[in-house]
Structure 1
Amino acid sequence: MRVCQGNVEPGFEPVAQLFERLFRVAGRGGGSFVLRHRDRVLVDIWGGVADPATGAGWWRDTLALSFSTTKGVAATVIHRLADRGLLGYDDPVAAFWPEFAAGGKDRITVRQLLRHQAGLDRLAPIAPDADALLDHRAAEQRLAAQAPDHRPGSSAYHAITFGWLCAGLARAITGKGMAELVRTELAEPLGVDGLHIGRPDPDSQRVAATIGELRPMPDLLARFVALPFPITLPHRRIAEAMLSPGVNEVFRPPCPPVLDTEMPSANGLFTAESLATLYGALANGGAVNGRRLLTGGTVHDLARPPRSRVPDLALGFPMYWRLGYHQAFVPGVRMPTAFGHYGYAGSGAWADPATGLSAAFVSNRVYPLSNAMGDLALVRLSRLCVRTFRALQRPGALSA
């Protein structure tokens, strides 16, 4: 039986063939992948199993837990507020969120927050157990009261706290939580229904069951914490950014409790189609499908590549942070202007303003931590798509 469903434009058939091979592997689960060029959908494919317990198949509108891919979505909400003049990137966060001035944080700017430079990356002081991990309002309040873990201005990946920081800032300005803002500021203006922080409905049948075991990730990082300083300093910091008692419990498959809270760094439930549409706007001056999400000036500013090549303190290598996004890493093809956000378990999305391309991938299979993403399907599909797009570029071949 054929696994891959959907449509591809002429010339992109090898992408569907690769997807078919990836998802024919036993126990692979399901997923979907979308590639856009401006307002034209070049690849829109899906397949596999959404829930092994019931045998339910994957559909185009299946929602998948997308881990850190959520950060790019949360950051885009902040850009919508900036676009309307409700905040400035170089303004102190405390100018809008007065409680945030506690602990000597009165000078930390919105720009620093979005570039993981707030010095609030450690998770345990903010969420010391499972109950605290699921209480997003209390997490926002603890972050406001917390003193920085290290000197602000140096980037250290805020693996979990980033989303609560964005949510606390947005709530202080609008009075609304991030789940509501993703709906009203992103999904509704774009006309999509696949962007959610947490489960949109407790009885939703669209949410794919998470397959696999998340435990190897924190266990492996815990081993790094025990290794001697200073050789493992980056590993120690990323472990501290991701680990606290209760992490395994709230992310345990197949239906993690984290689905019923707001953790805008890690519990986004997305479709590939909606993510690719969102990043399609970021790739094309702020507009997609005739709908304006951001002004061209705002998109130009947030997409501007940073000059710093300093390694991130947590990850140990340069991340080239934009304002809430990172450089889109697609080994084998050069895309210096592309940016987005990838997530554990392989989900992710990116935009390339130089070409007008955007892409997104979501899946429900969690593999042991053998690389930074746990699954390289997005990288492989993206690389083939970009190479195919370039090969097909000739006058009028892929005009919008």
Structure 2
Amino acid sequence: MADTGIASAEVHGNCAKGFEPVRAAFAANFMEPGETGASVSVVLNGQTVVDLWAGHADGKRTKPWQRDTLANVWSTTKGMGALVCGMLVERGAFSYDDKVSAYWPEFAAADKGNITIGQMLSHQAGLCGPAVPTTAEEMCNHALMAERLATQAPMWTPGSRSGYHALTVGILAGELVRRVSGRTIGTFFREEVAAPFGIDFFIGLPASEDARVAEMIPATKSNMPDPSTLNISQIAALGNPAPDARVPNERFWRGAELSSANGQGTASAIARVYGALASDGTIDGKRLVKPETIRAMTALQIEGHDEVLAMPARWGAGYILNVGGLYGPNDEAFGHSGWGGSFGMADPKTGLGISYVMNQMGPDLAGDARANAIIAAAYASL
């Protein structure tokens, strides 16, 4: 259905009465700052109230964005990896207070034996980036990176601070899941979340799904700081390997199981997961996780100045806890944002689950203007 207020894109999908502000904000994103293709979804108390898509899945604007178009969501993937870990906690496979080395003995090298799983998932391990020059292809080689990180010395005393593990947390979480469950993190997600709950999201995309994937388009400008101003932790986390907005268009990246950055999914899929986390942990009446598990996943692990992000941060066990209004007005909200503009969030106070997915990347790691507009509109609709 067309939106008479815009000429650059036709908005498709459904929007419940009262949530017109979300539709208007979504449409406005195609005017200024000039979206290419995107989807947005809002779930309220377990029911989808907004499911919209528009634009094109390619930079040349020849391939219309469809309801099932997938896009690389960068660090928004971390919320799905954290969910897998939470499900294993619920099943008694480990606790957040357990030491990583209890399940991964090699990880104890270089004085890392006392790092807990909760600390690892909340970016406190001091392994925010590889100690040796690393390519994107190597980062997608799970066995290689797990071995390297297991022997690597931490960049600070573990537990003394947080420093965003932009890519490496996906290796760490993935190896823990493999050691404990006998399955890769992508396989676990597919078998325990995606398939039984109808969640159109992949950590490790089969080549058979490539035709549905949007082309990721680099931002026209960058907000990355001058390299000469970066500390050692920032260089490791944000520059090794050097960031490349086009790498999601490569098969080696799509096929890897990097739960920190290479998830491919729709806004509807992400919002349905966060909608469950915002309410009673069920999707369509079927239990995903228990309410007490949600509270454990989002219990505060550490807060303060993040060594890598260089801003205040509050971390749960893999989730960003709301700070500075990133996820709306309520302190209870949590989620994860991705480089370039995507995000998924839950607000248990209101029962809201919200997600935005796009292929035209913006310059920010978090706080994208398009995302901010969607979140503000969702709250204005309540």
- Using structure 2 for the length normalisation, give the TM-score: 0.90
Give the whole-Å Cα distance in 2 for the aligned partners of 1:132 and 1:253: 14
Measured against aligned partners, the alpha-carbon deviations of 1:358-381 in whole angstroms (never above 9, x if no partner) come to 1011001123x3x43383212111
Residue 348 of structure 1 deviates from its aligned partner by: 0.6
Which residue in the other structure is 1:197 paired with?
Answer: 203
Report the more deviating stretch, 353-362 or 278-287.
278-287
Report the more deviating stretch, 79-88 or 15-24.
15-24
Structure 1 pair 32/179, CA: closer, same or farther in 2 (3 Å)? same
Which residue in the other structure is 2:102 paired with?
Answer: 95
1:60 to 2:60 alignment: no
Matching residue's letter, 1:136: H
Structure 1 pair 68/107, CA: closer, same or farther in 2 (3 Å)? same
Structure 1 segments unaligned to the other structure (5+ residues): 390-400
1:279 to 2:265 alignment: no
Give the whole-Å Cα distance in 1 for the aligned partners of 2:375 and 2:341: 12
Q: 1:131 aligns with which of 127, 137, 162?
A: 137
Which residue in the other structure is 1:315 paired with?
Answer: 309
Matching residue's letter, 2:270: L
Q: 1:208 aligns with which of 211, 214, 227?
A: 214
1:288 to 2:288 alignment: no
Residue 160 of structure 1 deviates from its aligned partner by: 0.7
Which residue in the other structure is 2:127 paired with?
Answer: 120
Work out the number of aligned pairs and report it: 373
Residues 327 and 334 in structure 2, CA contact (< 8 A), matched pair in contact too? no
Structure 2 segments unaligned to the other structure (5+ residues): 1-6
Give the whole-Å Cα distance in 2 for the aligned partners of 1:305 and 1:103: 27
Residues 320 and 327 in structure 1, CA contact (< 8 A), matched pair in contact too? yes
Structure 1 pair 356/262, CA: closer, same or farther in 2 (3 Å)? same
Matching residue's letter, 2:311: F
SS of the residue 1:43 aligns to: strand
Report the identity percentage.
Answer: 35
Measured against aligned partners, the alpha-carbon deviations of 1:314-366 in whole angstroms (never above 9, x if no partner) come to 11222110110012464694111000000111001001111111101100112
Give the whole-Å Cα distance in 2 for the aligned partners of 1:52 and 1:131: 24
Structure 1 pair 245/331, CA: closer, same or farther in 2 (3 Å)? closer
Q: How does 1:141-290 map to 2 (within 5 A)?
A: 141-153=147-159, 154-192=161-199, 194-202=200-208, 204-213=210-219, 216=222, 220-221=224-225, 223-224=226-227, 226-227=228-229, 233=231, 236-245=232-241, 247-248=243-244, 251-252=246-247, 254-255=249-250, 257-290=252-285
Give the whole-Å Cα distance in 1 for the aligned partners of 2:220 and 2:118: 32
Q: 2:43 aligns with which of 17, 36, 43?
A: 36
Give the whole-Å Cα distance in 2 for the aligned partners of 1:162 and 1:139: 11
Residues 6 and 44 in structure 1, CA contact (< 8 A), matched pair in contact too? yes
Measured against aligned partners, the alpha-carbon deviations of 1:16-74 in whole angstroms (never above 9, x if no partner) come to 12211212459621010111111211111111101234611111111101001011111
SS of the residue 1:359 aligns to: strand
Which residue in the other structure is 1:358 paired with?
Answer: 353
